[in-house]
């Protein structure tokens, strides 16, 4: 179990917050002499203006609007010091919402919005944007803080981590300095762990990741401040283990293998928390040739290969060539690949290109991190045989709330991103959960710990509340009275374990359909999935996968 959660959330870290304060002024230049006559004279000192005393100083403030008037858009008043601060940084360039209102609630988003993973980051940001817009347009923001009359608008600062853990830490530290009580992100497990341990946990800021699935997050010493709408890879590992038997049976039938004939099976994985954790979890439970995969009888027929971590090359340098050669030498019938883009482009694709055996070619099963546009657009293209040999697993649901979310997303955004990509629905849910937790906290400007306490009120028992605008007023009223709700998200029922900050989820088996011209298209649910309720594979692979 993680450190402290529902019963221990009383201890708080006092976070810097945006709000009212007594005026003060921080002078950064000797004020014994006249140093300026206009603000332009202070251009060498960013963030300063020419004061009444004719010195360059950070402008004193008591309201956000004063900072906007003195320094322009995207500035706010820092309550602890009475100084104006720039809400932006080199990593954090997006500011949306009515942030200048004194009762505004400000959140952060840290995801990749540039580079090869930019689509995932953009769709996560879009999903947060959609949720906050819906709350603003339907309910005019959150109910007033206790003792006040003005409704509270929601705003966010969006940051690009460029799929780099150090960049994510820098962005998160900036958000912590702004007093942001919660961050949606990061998109990937290793980045989430480093961002949390080096920036947000020390800063008392809550993190909700919509797509980080590593089992390492479950037991993170997080002081109750790391949650996720994505399920732990415990569930994906279970789905992969069960699906492995289905694949083995299919290969045996296709190759007309006899009872005593042995299959060769390999797992290749990224050397980070996500890939290594998933690889080990599957290996432990995997059955192969009527025995555990690690049994002596499977020596030479089973192999797990760590191909390194391109995101941490100093400690675990990539070993793509060695992984590829190991697979070509072994000639597995089945290859499970657990990683991110490199698992497809730098490992799977070269294995396929270098394959020598003419009697069979391998079946590939990818985890959710391998679902990238290049898979169907650059690797598979119109190769029908390869397309049918690639399937995978991904958390997901077919519940009606997801369909409502998909429709709203596609109406709002036509930028080439898809709400069907893993992480989009989870980010939408995360934004609603943060809004509801703000109300549940009863605080005018909640801290990260107060939001975590609020999240503990989002689980049964309580009135069922669906993500979206249908019951905003009712939900605000329930939470304002101190009652709990049962939140049903677009990503599925989010029945959180408040000790770990995570919820179970169905795991879908996906495949790639082809268009009328035989060209591979984006992955779709196959019709087979692991039921989180029953713990068994349900359904069958549908004709869409042919």
Per the CB < 8 A criterion, the answer to whether 122 and 415 are in contact is yes
Per the CB < 8 A criterion, the answer to whether 59 and 68 are in contact is no
pLDDT at residue 433, as a whole number: 99
Q: Name the 3-class secondary structure at 106.
A: strand
User: Which of 70, 69, 24 is closest to 47 using CA atoms?
Assistant: 70
pLDDT tens, 159-181?
A: 999 999 999 999 999 999 999 99
User: Which of 140, 231, 169, 204 is closest to 497 using CA atoms?
Assistant: 231
> What separation, in Å, do the N-terminal and C-terminal C-alpha atoms of the chain show?
43
The owner of tokens 């009762």 is: 103
Per the CB < 8 A criterion, the answer to whether 388 and 543 are in contact is no
Give the Cα separation of 262 and 303 in Å (integer).
14
CATH annotation of 6-232+425-493: 3.40.50.2300
User: Between residues 347 and 145, which one has the greater pLDDT?
Assistant: 347
CB-based burial of residue 416 (10 Å sphere; 0-12 exposed, 13-18 middle, 19+ buried)?
Answer: exposed
Q: Which two tokens stand for residue 130?
A: 């959609």
pLDDT tens, 486-533?
A: 999 999 999 999 999 999 999 999 999 999 999 999 999 999 999 988
Per the CB < 8 A criterion, the answer to whether 168 and 191 are in contact is yes
> Where in the chain are all domains bearing CATH 3.40.50.2300?
6-232+425-493, 234-397+505-545
Whether pLDDT at 187 is above 70: yes
Strand partners, 183: 108, 207
pLDDT at residue 4, as a whole number: 43
State the pTM of this model.
0.85
pLDDT at residue 466, as a whole number: 96
pLDDT at residue 19, as a whole number: 35
Per the CB < 8 A criterion, the answer to whether 27 and 57 are in contact is yes
pLDDT tens, 425-469?
A: 999 999 999 999 999 999 999 999 999 999 999 999 999 999 999
Query: Beta-carbon neighbour count of residue 23 at 10 Å?
Result: 13
- Superfamily designation of domain 234-397+505-545: Response regulator (3.40.50.2300)
Close Cβ partners of 397 (under 8 Å, ≥ 6 residues apart): 425, 491, 492, 505, 506
What's the whole-number average pLDDT of the chain?
91
Close Cβ partners of 411 (under 8 Å, ≥ 6 residues apart): none
Pairing between strand 390-395 and 507-511?
A: antiparallel
DSSP state of 339: S
Cα–Cα–Cα angle for 227, 220, 536, rounded to 5 degrees: 65
Q: Which two tokens stand for residue 363?
A: 């079946």
Q: Name the 3-class secondary structure at 76.
A: strand
User: Which of 386, 406, 421, 368 is closest to 530 using CA atoms?
Assistant: 368
Phi and psi, residue 477, nearest 5°: -65, -45
Pairing between strand 524-530 and 507-511?
A: antiparallel
Whether pLDDT at 8 is above 60: no
pLDDT at residue 57, as a whole number: 77
Confidence of residue 102 (pLDDT cuts 50, 70, 90): confident
Which of 48-52, 99-103, 421-425 has the largest mean confidence?
421-425
User: Which of 471, 458, 454 is closest to 404 using CA atoms?
Assistant: 471
Looking at residues 106-119, what average pLDDT do you find?
95
Query: Beta-carbon neighbour count of residue 313 at 10 Å?
Result: 10
Give the Cα separation of 268 and 316 in Å (integer).
15
Confidence of residue 80 (pLDDT cuts 50, 70, 90): low
pLDDT tens, 263-278?
A: 999 999 999 999 999 9
pLDDT at residue 40, as a whole number: 83
Whether pLDDT at 38 is above 50: yes
Looking at residues 68-81, what average pLDDT do you find?
85
358-to-252, 289, 354, 361, 436 alpha-carbon distances in Å: 17, 23, 12, 7, 58
Per the CB < 8 A criterion, the answer to whether 512 and 546 are in contact is no
Close Cβ partners of 398 (under 8 Å, ≥ 6 residues apart): 525
Whether pLDDT at 46 is above 90: no
pLDDT tens, 500-511?
A: 999 999 999 999
Give the Cα separation of 262 and 260 in Å (integer).
6
Q: Strand locations in 258-348, DSSP E? A: 265-269, 287-288, 291-292, 302-306, 334-338
pLDDT tens, 9-20?
A: 333 323 323 333
pLDDT at residue 2, as a whole number: 52
Give the Cα separation of 289 and 260 in Å (integer).
8
Before 172, cis peptide (omega within 30)? Answer: no
pLDDT tens, 382-402?
A: 999 999 999 999 998 888 899
Give the Cα separation of 88 and 80 in Å (integer).
19
Q: Which two tokens stand for residue 513?
A: 């359909």
Alpha helices in 179-232 (DSSP H): 189-195, 201-203
User: Between residues 83 and 328, which one has the greater pLDDT?
Assistant: 328
The owner of tokens 């009652």 is: 483
């Amino acid at each position: 179990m993680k450190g402290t959660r529902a019963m221990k959330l009383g201890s708080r870290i006092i976070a810097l917050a945006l709000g009212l304060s007594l005026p003060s002024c921080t002078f950064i230049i000797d004020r014994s002499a006249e140093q300026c006559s206009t603000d332009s004279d202070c251009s060498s000192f960013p963030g300063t203006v020419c004061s009444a005393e004719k010195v360059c100083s950070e402008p004193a403030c008591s309201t956000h609007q004063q900072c906007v008037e003195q320094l322009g858009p995207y500035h706010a008043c820092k309550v602890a010091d009475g100084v104006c601060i720039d809400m932006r940084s080199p990593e954090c360039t997006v500011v949306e919402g009515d942030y200048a209102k004194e009762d505004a609630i400000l959140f952060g988003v840290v995801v990749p919005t540039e580079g090869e993973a930019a689509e995932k980051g953009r769709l996560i940001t879009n999903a947060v944007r959609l949720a906050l817009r819906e709350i603003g347009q339907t309910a005019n923001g959150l109910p007033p803080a206790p003792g006040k009359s003005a409704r509270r608008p929601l705003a966010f600062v969006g940051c690009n981590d460029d799929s780099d853990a150090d960049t994510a830490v820098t962005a998160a530290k900036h958000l912590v300095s702004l007093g942001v009580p919660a961050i949606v992100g990061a998109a990937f497990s290793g980045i989430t762990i480093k961002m949390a341990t080096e920036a947000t946990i020390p800063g008392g800021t809550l993190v909700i990741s919509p797509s980080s699935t590593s089992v390492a997050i479950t037991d993170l010493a997080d002081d109750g401040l790391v949650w996720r709408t994505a399920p732990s890879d415990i569930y994906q590992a279970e789905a992969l283990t069960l699906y492995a038997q289905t694949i083995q049976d299919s290969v045996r039938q296709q190759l007309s293998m006899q009872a005593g004939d042995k299959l060769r099976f390999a797992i290749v994985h990224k050397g980070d928390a996500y890939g290594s954790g998933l690889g080990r979890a599957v290996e432990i439970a995997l059955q192969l040739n009527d025995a555990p995969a690690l049994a002596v009888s499977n020596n030479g027929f089973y192999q797990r290969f760590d191909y390194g971590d391109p995101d941490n090359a100093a400690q675990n340098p990539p070993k793509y060539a060695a992984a590829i050669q190991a697979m070509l030498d072994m000639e597995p019938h089945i290859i499970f690949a657990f990683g991110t883009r490199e698992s497809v482009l730098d490992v799977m694709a070269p294995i396929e290109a270098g394959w020598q055996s003419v009697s069979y070619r391998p079946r590939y099963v990818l985890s959710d991190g391998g679902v990238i546009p290049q898979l169907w657009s650059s690797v598979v293209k119109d190769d029908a045989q390869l397309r049918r040999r690639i399937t995978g697993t991904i958390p997901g649901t077919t519940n009606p709330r997801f369909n409502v979310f998909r429709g709203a997303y596609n109406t709002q955004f036509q930028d080439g991103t898809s709400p069907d990509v893993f992480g989009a629905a989870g980010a939408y849910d995360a934004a609603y959960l943060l809004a509801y937790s703000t109300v549940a906290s009863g605080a005018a400007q909640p801290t990260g710990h107060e939001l975590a306490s609020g999240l503990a009120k989002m689980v049964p028992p309580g009135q069922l509340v669906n993500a979206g605008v249908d019951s905003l007023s009712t939900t605000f009223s329930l939470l304002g009275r101190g009652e709990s709700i049962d939140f049903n998200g677009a990503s599925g029922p989010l029945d959180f374990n408040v000790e770990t900050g995570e919820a179970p989820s169905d795991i879908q088996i996906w495949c790639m359909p082809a268009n009328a011209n035989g060209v591979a298209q984006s992955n779709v649910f196959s019709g087979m999935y692991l039921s989180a309720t029953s713990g068994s594979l349900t359904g069958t692979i549908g004709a869409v996968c042919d």
